[in-house]
Amino acid sequence: EAQVTQNPRYLITVTGKKLTVTCSQNMNHEYMSWYRQDPGLGLRQIYYSMNVEVTDKGDVPEGYKVSRKEKRNFPLILESPSPNQTSLYFCATRSGRAGYEQFFGPGTRLTVL
Amino acid sequence: DQQVKQNSPSLSVQEGRISILNCDYTNSMFDYFLWYKKYPAEGPTFLISISSIKDKNEDGRFTVFLNKSAKHLSLHIVPSQPGDSAVYFCAGGTDSWGKLQFGAGTQVVVTP
């Protein structure tokens, strides 16, 4: 079954404590991306990757890092989380060769105290 | 600055009637548009897309209309069903790699 998985699904942490949210896909897609969803703002892109070792900033990259060492994984790293990073995070993937559709993971609810 | 705007945060419609969701955009360079549907505690799921060179795309009960001169698109759901109750996001993309700009979403409630 085609899947985008995210872990953890829920996380409560404190300011300054480094954390990583993992994203993995089994569809062999070249393109992966991270979004955050906030009330009244919709989904905003944080970072995206067009292939292994190729990443670029989205619209709201401040405070986040990513890496793409393997095609299937695209972790989101918060080196020093702050309360304004409390949000719902989604990973998404897309084939580089077919259509416009992006496939989303189930989301990670992050609370930074 | 939001390039895609959904000005109606919510919409209530009776089962069997038409739901019309609206979306306005400012970036004339968008090559395509997508609609996503989102249930609580799930990720968004793709619903329907339209290329900027077309003015209509239909898929079953869902039809998207694009008016480029007005920078406006709309999603029609006919007939509306209770399972259509969800948040709907409109998105625009400017390149084939899918860097998307999303609207804030419209909560649709379909009542019996």
**Structure confidence by residue, pLDDT tens digits, B11-40:** 999 999 999 999 999 999 898 999 999 999
Cα three-residue angle B38-A29-B35, rounded to 5 degrees: 25
CB–CB contact A42 B103 (8 Å): yes
CB–CB contact A105 B45 (8 Å): no
Distance from the Cα of B22 to chain A's closest Cα (Å) equals 15
Is the per-residue pLDDT at A110 higher than 90?
yes
Task: Decide: A71 and A24 in contact? Cβ < 8 Å.
Answer: no
Q: Exposed, middle or buried, B111 (CB in 10 Å: 0-12/13-18/19+)? A: exposed
Taking the C-alpha atoms of residue A76 and residue A2, their distance in angstroms, rounded to an integer, is: 21
Q: In the prediction, which pLDDT does B97 show?
A: 60
At A111, which amino acid appears?
Answer: T
- B48: confidence class by pLDDT, cuts 50, 70, 90: very high
Q: In the prediction, which pLDDT does A20 show?
A: 98
State the Rg of chain A over Cα: 13
CB–CB contact A90 B43 (8 Å): yes
Distance from the Cα of A5 to chain B's closest Cα (Å) equals 10
Half-sphere exposure of A39 (CA within 13 A, CB side): 3
The 10 Å Cβ neighbour count of residue A90 is 24
Q: Which of B25, B43, B39 is nearest to B93 (CA)?
A: B25
SS3 content of chain A, % helix, strand, coil (to 5): 5, 50, 45
Taking the C-alpha atoms of residue B47 and residue A101, their distance in angstroms, rounded to an integer, is: 9
Is the per-residue pLDDT at B98 higher than 60?
no
What are the CA-CA distances from residue B77 to residues A75, B40, B74 (Å)? 36, 20, 10
CB–CB contact B100 A45 (8 Å): yes
Distance from the Cα of A82 to chain B's closest Cα (Å) equals 23
Q: Which of B2, B100, B105 sits opposite A102 (nearest CB)?
A: B100
Average pLDDT over residues B49-63: 95
Is the per-residue pLDDT at A97 higher than 70?
no
At B70, which amino acid appears?
Answer: A
